[in-house]
Each structure stands twice: as C-alpha cells, then as structure tokens.
Structure 1
Amino acid sequence: MTDLDAATAPAGGAFDEPTRRVGAGWIAAFASAWLGIWMAQLTPVQLLLPAQIDAVLRPEQWTDSVLAFGVVSGVAAVFTIVAYPVTGALSDRTASRFGRRRPWIALGALVFAASLVVLGFQTELWAIGAAWVAATIGFCVATAALTATISDQVPVDQRGFVSGWMSAPQSVGIIVGLVIVTMLITGAEAGYAVLAGALLLLVLPFLRVPDRPLAGGERRRVTARGILASLWISPRAYPDFGWTLTSRVLVSIGNALGTSLLLYFLMFGLRDPNAEDDLLVLTLVYMVFVIIASLVFGRLSDRLGRRKAFVFVASVLQGAAALLLALVPDLTTAMIAAGLLGLGYGCFLSVDQALATQVLPDPAARGKDLGIMNIATAVPQAVGPLIGALAVVWTGSFTLVFVLSGACAVAGAIAVSRVRSVR
C-alpha cells in the first residue's frame, strides 16, 4: 500500500474529524499542487502583469501604471469574494464518485491555466483585466477545495506541519517562476503558457489522492438560497472565527502592501537600474526565510499545542519589516526587510492556517467556511496593490505604503490575541 493509498479520509462519515496521520506521499502531492498554484498566481503579480500593463499603457507618469495595476487587482478581488465561499459550499455538497474536492481542484486548475494562456496574448487594458479576473476565479476554485482537504484528512496535531507545506511552496513558486520568465523564457505569451503548463503538471499528483465521497445520509439538497444563507457566519455566535478572520484580513493586507509593489518600488522609489535582477535577489531572500519559518514553526506549534503566540509574533515581525522600509528606504534595508518579512509571513501562513481549521463552526461545511477564511487572504492580496497605488499617487512616494503595511500587521496581531478557544 502506498502513502497515497493510506491517505484516505478517516473511517466513518466524510464530516468526522480525521485521526489517521497523512503520509509522506500525501504531503508531497499536496506540496506539489501548491507549488504549481503559487507559481502561476504570484509570478504574474510580481512581474508579468505589471510589466504587461506598463507596456500597454506606456504612460508619461509612472504612477498611472501603478494605479492601473491596482485597479486590475481590485476588480479581480470583487470576484474572489464570491468565488471562494460559493465554490467551498458547492464542494461540501458534491456527491461525485471521485469525492467532494477533487472535481473542483481539477476544474479550477483547468480554468486557471486556460486563462493564463489567453492573458499572454492581450494587448488592451480591459482585455488584460478580464483575463486576469478569469484566472483569479480559477485560482479560487482550485484553492478553496484544496485547502478544505486539510480539515477533511489531516488530524489537528499534524495541521501546523502540513500547512507549512502549503506556505513553503509559495516562496519556491515565486523564485522558480521569476527565474523562468526572466532567464529561460522570453516574451509574455511564452511566460504565461509555461506557467499554465507547470500548473497542470504539478496539480496532477494530488488528483490521485483518495477523497471520500458523501454517503447517502450525508447528502444535502443544493439550492442557491441555501448556499447564500450559509455564507453569513455571525461573529457574535462564533467570535473566535470572527477574530481569526479579522486577523488574517489585516495581516494579509499588510503583506500585500509590503510585497506587491516591490518592482515599482525598486524602479521608481529607489531608481534601481537593475530592478528586475534585484527583485529576484529580494525574492530569494524572502523565499529562504518563508520556507524555514513555515516548516519549523508549523511543526513546533503542533508539538507545543499552541497557535496564537506564533501568529502574534509573526504579525509583529511583518510590521517591523514594513516600518524599517518606511524609515530607511534603500536596497540594503530592503534585503533585511525581506528576511524579516519572510520569517514572519512564513510562520503566519502555516500556523494561522492550522488555527483557522480549529475555529470552524460546522464540520459539514468545512469547504464553505474555509472558503470564507480564504477570502481574508486572497482579497487583501488583490486589494493591497490598489490601496498601495492610491497611497503612491496621493503622496508621490512609497513611505505611506510601508507605514500602512506595518500598521495592518500589528493590528492583526492584536486581533488574534482575542481568540479564546485555541491556545
């Protein structure tokens, strides 16, 4: 019996808490899927998309390009708000013989990949925005279902470590993607196409992981009214869910403000003649610390049975990195800040994801509830560039962007300290 075969959902119903630890094969397939997803999502955000928009606009004022990128990201965020919870709710109720999550992971990956290929050929701003919206929807569909497999199949005392394998590939994906599109592939069309192909190839192994289908008695009738009604989770009735959601929104906005405009910061804030090369170096520094933090602190939080303290410290580290850039904006400071930001965000991603799975209100609605929780990561990542762009246009510099980034991260630390049911 292989590790994948041993990774079946726990005995009993699909909604039961899992007790069997997942093996190395399950974790490898899970990490592979996330590597493909992050590579396809973050490489465009960091380089391809802003460069494509700038090439199309050719603006007299560089701030116009920053603002256009922020608007495209902001529009995509609107669709994220709907796509995440609706997809999660549908996957909770899917009665396919292939299981609840796998059909949605496959569908999302296909939509995501196809949209990236189309995006590469667009030469008008509205078409770039429409293709990126479609890609974002595919991203949401795939990741809503993929994230829910943690609650479905991973026991609580292993979730910090497994969640680390969701966050560590984020940094690897950025650096590998940037290397591909700056050193190995020339042209936006080819760059987007290679990312799309890598996405499908890397997601494929996880589609072999067994996914327990719903039993007859567990199936619920799917109605639009029922899904819409289920999207509201009262923070008064479930305060820990509300505080965790709030913390994630704030920290994610802070991270997006600190990273999404980095290319523009190097090009126009520091007047760096080697902006693309230095972006690669900064990303590499960030990557190393994200990987270390996500895997080490995720496992440590499992062993200690504590989540809040790690999330609190992670948020403060990100705030310190952003404020450092605001006070001393130069390339050396950016290198130090990249390390601090990676250390803080890597810890946050793995431990906060484990924390989120422990404050879900209903075992029968894990996909939907985690979909709502994922909004708190995806929407800020999309809205952050717009907020940052408006701050740049208003002030003519990046100082306010980094001040806001630090303030959001610290506020996120305060919010997570209010969680009561998880240590």
Structure 2
Amino acid sequence: MKKSLFLAALVLMSAGCFAQKKNVSKARNLADAETPDYAAAREAINEALQNEETKDQANTWYVAGWIDYKQFENEGIKMQLGQGGDENARGNAVYESIDYWVKAYNIAMTPVYDKKGKAKYDTRTVKSILPKMLEYFQSQALITTGYAAYEAQDYSKAYDMFMRHLNIPEMEMMKSDAKIASEMVIDSNYYTCLYYAGRFAYEAKRYNDAIATLERMNSDAAMAKANRRDVIFANEYIYQIYIEQQDTTHAVAQLQKSIQAFPEEPWFMQNLINLYINSGQEAKAIEYLDLAITREPNVGQYYNSKASILARIGRFDEAFATFEQALAIEPNNALFLESYGYAYIDLGNKLSDDATYLDAKAFAKAEVEIKAAYQKALPYFQKAYELESDNDSYKRSLRQLYYRLGMIDEYNALAD
C-alpha cells in the first residue's frame, strides 16, 4: 500500500514537472509561430518561471528572453519591409529580455559536478545568448526607444533605456567571449550617449544617477580626450547638480578638479571665483584670480574682479593699480570704469567712517581727503555714462555722485 502511494506521488510530481516543461515549449512555440502570440507566450513562461521544478533551469529563463527577442526581431523585419513595425515595442522587448538572459547566463555558468567531481556548465545556452546580446547593442534599439521617451518627457525611462544599452559592453558575460567583446565598439557615439543619459537623469531629478553616469565620462583618458567637448559639458553638469543640491563642498571640489583637468576652459575657474566671492572668501577668490590671470593675461574681467575685491577689503592702492591693468586691456569698458569709480567711493566712505571721532582740526583735514576721493571717482562715472548713456545704473551712479559733490546743476540735468 505504501509503495503504491509513493509511486502515485512520484507520478504526480513527474506530471507537474512535465507540465511546466511543456509550458516552456509552449511559450517558445507561440513566440516562433508565423503569427506569434507574445501575450500567450509570456503567460505560459511566467508559470514556469514561478514553478519550483523549472524556475532554476537556464532554459526557462532563456525562453523568457527569447519571446522578447522574437518580438524585437519581428518588429525589425516589419520596419525593413515597410509594413509598419513598432520601434518602441522593439526597444521595450530588448529591455525586458536582457534581465531574463542575465539570469539564464548566471544559472548556465553555475557549475554542476559529475560523479568524478568535474564541473560542467551549460555552454549551449551561453553560446545562444551572447550573439543576440551583441545584436541588441549594434541595433541601438534601446537608444531609439530611449530618445522617444525623452521626446515624450519621460526622462526616467529615457535614462533607463540609454543605460541598459550602454551597460551591455560592461557586463561580465559579454566580456567572457573575446570575439564578442571585440565587436562591441566603444566610440565617440557611445560617449555622446553617455552624456545624454546623464542629462536625462538630471531632468528626471535622479541626481545621484546623473552624477555617477557623467563621472563615467572621466574614466577613460583616451576616449575623454577624443570627446573632450562632451566631457567638459558633463563636468559642468555635475557642478550644477551639486549647486542645486546646495552641496557647496562637492561643488568646490568639482570645480577645482575640473580646473586642473581642463585648463583651456575658463568656465570652471570663473564659477569657482564667483563661488568664493559670493561666500566672502576673498583670499581664495584672489588666489584663483591670480591663477586665471596667469592662464589668460589678456582677459580684463579678471583684473577688474580682483581690483574690486581688493577695494572691498581695504587694499586700495593695490586695487587702483589693478584697475589700471584692466583698463589697459579694455579702456572703454563701462563696467570696469564704474567699478573703478566705486573703489574711490569706498575709499571716501572709509575715510569718512574713520574721521567720526577725530578732533575738529583733524576732521577738517580728513574732509579734504574724503572729498578728493569722491572727486577722483567722477571721471570714471562720467565716462561710463558717456559710453552707455542708456544704462540706468551708470546714470544713477553719476547722478548720486553729483549730489554728493554738491554739483546741483549737473544733478538736475540728469533728472528723469
């Protein structure tokens, strides 16, 4: 009796296992049919993927990916024949199948030991997967679908699609076959796609993904050199992300690193200088302005910025000398002229503050020096206004100075 029950249970178990293997075959047949039924094929394979008897078999996962591969293939044929074809469905199928085939590969490469202790692997499944993965990469179906998602403003999907494509050459299973690996060309187009993937992540507010993706562009020195413009843009984006996250520490580090990596690109230097100026770190700002001047000695703005900082911290003689250097490069720059004038205003204000508690005799002497400082600002304000008379800022500055110097007729002449 017990033997009969055991045999009956064994028959039931075998029948269940056979049924699931039948589902695997059924799924493949439905996908391979002249008129494929992908929905029914997926329904059949999903049962096998969840069944204890078949879920750990490489072929089960291979067939799951095969269904998507056949959809990718058939949609491509339709497009070639001018019979329509759904490019997005094609890319989505590629995206889904990769997960299945990674799982199939991992199971296939898990050693099974025979009685002699010799490891055996399912190389047949591996050899079936790798060429098709190469086909996916070369077709760029994921890129096409990703770009369509970007145009639809689904930035997160666009990023995921691009990254799935870009990560194919990085997969261990793709590196395991030297011939396959050699056919996956990492060229300038690859780096351009990497750059756009980082931008998509940024637009999707997936900032950590954006930074990690854009940082990859710095990893290959040769490719970074060949695609230098995109790499520079990538590093600019990384800085912007840190600023938006109010992460000043990493923002400064990013700029400092980029200044060393891209000495020909002044954008990084200029933003670092502005960061130091706006945070009140005048000494650091001057340090990097001096470096900027060394690299680009004919850029007047560097001298003007340095002179303005020197005036702000009370080093007026150095400031005036540096303003002269700025104007030697751009003598008709209205902004430089106004900045120079304001340095004299600042000097006059400082002298005025210092004179507050002087005795009458010393105060009278200080008043002469104060007025002289304001008077020295006048020609710079006048010339700035002369150069750009439609600029309200220059007009306002000059009018206020006329009032301060008691030049009422001139003050009234500039009335609105």
For Structure 1 versus Structure 2, the TM-score category normalised by the shorter chain is under 0.3
Q: TM-score, normalised by structure 2?
A: 0.22
Q: TM-score, normalised by structure 1?
A: 0.21
Greater RCO, 1 or 2 (C-alpha within 8 Å, sep 6+): 1
